Chain A
Amino acid sequence: EDRTLRVATSVPQHHYLTRAIQTFADRVNERTDGEISFEVYPAQSLVTDQQMDQAVANGTVDIGIASASILAGTIPAFNIFAVPFYFDTREKLDHSVTRGNPIRTTLDEEIEKKGLHAAFWIPYGSIAMVTRDKPVHVPDDMKGMKIRTFGSTVSEFVEAVGAAPVVTSGGEQFLALQRGIVDGGLTGWSSVTDRRLYEVSKYVVATDHMYETHFALMSSGVWDSLSPETQKIFQEVGEEMESELMDEIFTVNDKAKAELSEKMDVIELTDAEKTQWKEATRSVAEHFYESGDDVSKTVFEEAEKVQ
């Protein structure tokens, strides 16, 4: 079966995510002796991140790189990764998001129920907070600040410490910081370097309070149309990539921190400070559990077990 699959990402060509799916594509292509090839459309040239799941569902693309934050609109249980400090160590991640763990299995099933299939999960790393000109160490420092956020649970985190969440489109994020429309913003470590946020903010706080994951998302239709041999290759390559990338994100984050420490103040939280943050944002976890649907409750209970 000779097939070409269209792949779309919403980040630039040399971004970590595009490189990850490109590596996946190259390996699958090699192991299928060229039978399966890929056309990669990076930088939302074909699909924006907001539309990614829909574009996969209606067949505009065969594989789309979507984030848990976007998918959480449809499957609220994905907000579990935004519950503060529940997935902040490698150990916790190894017991939750890697294959075979109950959280992973439950969420994969939810994806299948929506007519989609995650070829593999792309580990992305933790979320940091940049601030324009105010060093933040403890939750009290956040009082009255305006913070750019994404997603509903992320906003709750900001509100829990007395700051105000501001919705700004990705393109205006740099400007909003530069001009002071917001005082800070939550974002991935790689975005701080890639979007040159260090030019417009003095500090980056290693809150590392939430985990962000992405998916190589396919529709069930496309997945089912692949031969069993090809499916097996997808699974094998996906599995090896997941474990390689999980190692990589920790080095990538460390590298980003080292690089950034020359351009801005990197603020690491002490254990005592971290405890204060956990205390201050406990309500987010409670709210997630209480207002969550059955699946959210299930994954939350599982997440409690790995704390």
Chain B
Amino acid sequence: MTHDQHRPRIRSHPLVRLLDKAVMGIAELSSWIYLLIGAIVTYEVVVRYVFNAPTHWVEEMSRLGMVWATFLILAACLNQRQLITITLLSNAAGPRVSAALEAITFALIAALALVIAWYGFESMMQTVSIGRRTNTTLSLPYWSFYLPIVLGFALLAVQALAELVLLLVFGARANEPFEPEDI
């Protein structure tokens, strides 16, 4: 978890706090989707096993929920420095080198996220133009699966650019380094 009080002062600038709030708020809402999915999948098991009446919607809606939730939490992972990283060498490096590596990381994330958001957007428009749908009873339009890619990666790009600006212009670094994997 973040310890805002330890962060350099620029991180408490209203604009930065607004971004933090937005990114974390979206991530929290999205996280609850997983709990909701757990509930509807349990419902599916019960109606199938007990009442022998499987649903038409649980499997597909769960996947859709998973897609939305996961893409929308990506930016928060960067915000909280929760991105699995081999920290061995970068931790051992001096402050200047590790700041430089961090800047490269932010720039790389921003560039990749923009590219993915853009091509995701093009794919989405393509599915809209030909009316692409899933061949299931729900027959969901495919854009509902592509939209979260666009939103999620756009948000990630904004977060990465903000971190880059904070680091390069104000020299402000978050307290937490990136972290190794905790599974």
Chain A residues in the interface with B (C-beta under 8 A): 53-54, 57-58, 69-74, 76, 79, 113-115, 144, 146, 151-152, 155, 164-167
Contacts and interface: CB of A to CB of B under 8 A. Distances in A.
A164 B137 contact: no
A114 B130 contact: yes
Interface string B52-72: 111010011000000000000
Contacts of A151: 135-136
A53 B56 contact: no
Interface string B140-178: 001000000000000000000000000000000000000
Interface string B33-59: 000000000000000100011101001
Contacts of B60: 167
Range, interface on chain B: 20 to 34
7 contacts: A58-B126, A73-B136, A74-B130, A79-B135, A113-B130, A164-B52, A167-B60
Contacts of A115: 130
Nearest to A166: B54
Given A146-B52, A152-B139, A167-B60, A58 B133 contact: no
A50 B158 CA distance: 31
A57 B126 contact: yes
Given A54-B127, A146-B54, A73 B134 contact: yes
A73 B135 contact: yes
Chain B contact residues: helix, strand, loop or mixed: loop
Given A54-B123, A58-B123, A58-B126, A167 B136 contact: yes
Contacts of B137: 152, 155
Contacts of A73: 132-136, 139, 142
A73 B126 CA distance: 15
B52 A74 contact: no
Contacts of B127: 54
Contacts of A70: 135
B48 A166 contact: yes
B93 to A, nearest CB: 38
Contacts of A71: 135
Nearest to A163: B52
Contacts of A72: 135
Given A57-B126, A74-B130, A164 B54 contact: yes
Given A74-B131, A152-B139, A164-B52, 10 more contacts: A54-B132, A54-B142, A69-B135, A72-B135, A73-B132, A73-B134, A74-B133, A115-B130, A152-B135, A167-B54
B17 to A, nearest CB: 39
Interface string B97-139: 0000000000000000000000100110011001111111101
A115 B126 CA distance: 10
Interface string B78-99: 0000000000000000000000
Name, among B60, B134, B139, the residue most crowded by chain A CB atoms within 10 Å (CB to CB).
Answer: B134
B53 A164 contact: yes
Nearest to A73: B135
A144 B51 CA distance: 10
B57 to A, nearest CB: 10
B126 to A, nearest CB: 6
Closest 3 CB pairs of A and B: A73-B135, A114-B130, A73-B133
Nearest to A82: B135
Nearest to B58: A167
Contacts of A165: 54, 56
B129 to A, nearest CB: 8
A146 B55 CA distance: 11
B123 A146 contact: no
